[in-house]
Amino acid sequence: MTPSRKAVIDVGTNSVKLLVAEVAPDGVRPVLEQSEQTRLGRGFYETHVLLSDAIAQTARAVAAFTRAAREHGASTVRVLATSAARDAVNRANLIDAIEQASGLKVEIISGEEEAELVFRGVITDPKLDGRKLLILDVGGGSTEFIVGAGKHHQFRQSFDIGTVRLLERLRPADPPSKQDLANCRARLSEFFAKEIVPIMAPSLEDRAAVTLVGTGGTTTILARIEKQLRGFQRDEIEGTVISRERIGYWMEKLWSLAVAQRREITGVPGSRADIIPMGVAIYEAVMEQFGFGEVFVSTRGLRFGALMSDE
């Protein structure tokens, strides 16, 4: 069967991302990938109202990515919006702005749908074939937890914990104080104990047989830091294994630095220097709560799954 060229635009809480790829029943081959941080969820979590300038910036990014997808021969372009869009009281304003700017229909997907697409994308990696997985996708507004093996899910759920959401709730100093770090760990410990562990524990009884997989910005950036990569290099990042000890090291390191200092670390994108400590904190909490010794980094996820689901 001849592969078809398709595109998906992912409108997240922190950034808008484009994937154009050759899609066939046996997998996805990326042709073009782009990302622009628009911080759609900034100032969002007290009012649940998307700011007009964030909406406008996001709509412009989607329109630009739509043009790029067409220029690279995409026959179809899907626009998917996630956490901030689905929680916003003025989501209609966002939909209207994107549709007017790009001419495309916006699909606001539920947390459950988001988790399912992430799972479908990650399992396209043959290195994970046959393993039981806990897939973690840390986004700006939510984190998706998916447990499964092969093509079958045992558990999937989206929780209201993410990098932008956590940053806006904690509002640490710059640089953060030791108390800021302690507050972050305490908040996550409480959230996990109350919201996540009771629901997930039954799916992770045989923990030793489960591989923790991280997909999304946080683990991609950690892999870049570990390998001293200045840009996104999929082949180098895919399959990187980061130990619990290294997560702990970067947790302490990143939480000791000002935002400007984090920008000087090779591998840290300047636009994400403020939120990367929050993402690392979430991974640290998962590894401590469930006893994982390492995390396998996947560059596949929502966008891969969305393209595969069209087949």
**pLDDT for 189-212, tens place per residue?**
999 999 999 999 888 888 889 999
What's the confidence (pLDDT) of residue 242?
98
Both 148 and 27 in one domain: the answer is: no
Counting beta carbons within 10 angstroms of the beta carbon of residue 110, is it exposed (0 to 12), middle (13 to 18) or buried (19 or more)? exposed
Quote the number of domains for the chain: 2
Select the more confidently predicted residue: 274 or 151: 274
**Region of 132 on the Ramachandran plot (φ > 0 left; ψ -120 to 50 alpha; else beta):** beta
Residue 117 lies in a domain: no
* Cβ-contact 82, 141 below 8 angstroms: yes
**What's residue 83's pLDDT?**
85
Quick one: average pLDDT of 273-289? 97
Band (pLDDT 50/70/90 cuts) for residue 215 is very high
pLDDT score of 150 more than 80: no
Q: pLDDT value at position 247? A: 98
Query: Residue 16's domain spans which residues?
Result: 4-109
Last residue of a domain, one of 63, 78, 109: 109
Instruction: Mark whether 102 and 134 lie in a shared domain.
Output: no
Lowest mean pLDDT segment, chosen from 52-56, 232-236, 295-299:
232-236
Domain assignment present for residue 283? The answer is yes
134 and 12: one domain?
no
User: Does any domain span residue 23?
Assistant: yes
Q: Do 253 and 162 share a domain, yes or no? A: yes
Q: 66 with 137, same domain? A: no
pLDDT value at 290 more than 70: yes
Residue (of 32, 19, 34, 80) closest to 300 by Cα position: 19
Q: What is the pLDDT of residues 166-194, one digit of tens each?
A: 999 999 999 999 999 999 999 999 999 99
| 70 lies in the same domain as 157 | no
**309 within some domain:** no
* Same structural domain, 210 and 236: yes
Residue 36 lies in a domain: yes
- Per-residue exposure over 225-238, b if at least 16 CB sit within 10 Å of its own CB, e if not: bbeebeebeeeebb
**185 with 276, same domain?**
yes
Residues 129-149: tens digit of each pLDDT: 889 999 999 988 889 899 988
Q: Is residue 8 part of a domain?
A: yes
CATH code at position 26: 3.30.420.40
Residues 179 and 290 in one domain: yes
Give the mean pLDDT of the chain: 93
pLDDT score of 310: 65
- Residues 280, 194 within the same domain: yes
Q: For residue 121, tell me if it sits in a domain.
A: no
Q: Is the pLDDT of residue 27 over 90?
A: no
Residue 58 domain-assigned (yes or no): yes
Which CATH number is 271's domain given?
3.30.420.150
Q: Check residue 55 and give its pLDDT.
A: 97
Please indicate, yes or no, whether residues 104 and 207 belong to a single structural domain of this protein.
no
Query: Long-range CB contacts (< 8 A, 24+ apart) of 251-258?
Result: 251/277, 251/280, 251/281, 251/284, 252/181, 254/280, 255/172, 255/176, 255/180, 255/181, 255/184, 255/281, 256/175, 256/176, 257/175, 258/174, 258/175
pLDDT surpassing 60 at residue 1: no
134 and 243 share one domain: yes
pLDDT, average across residues 5-31: 93
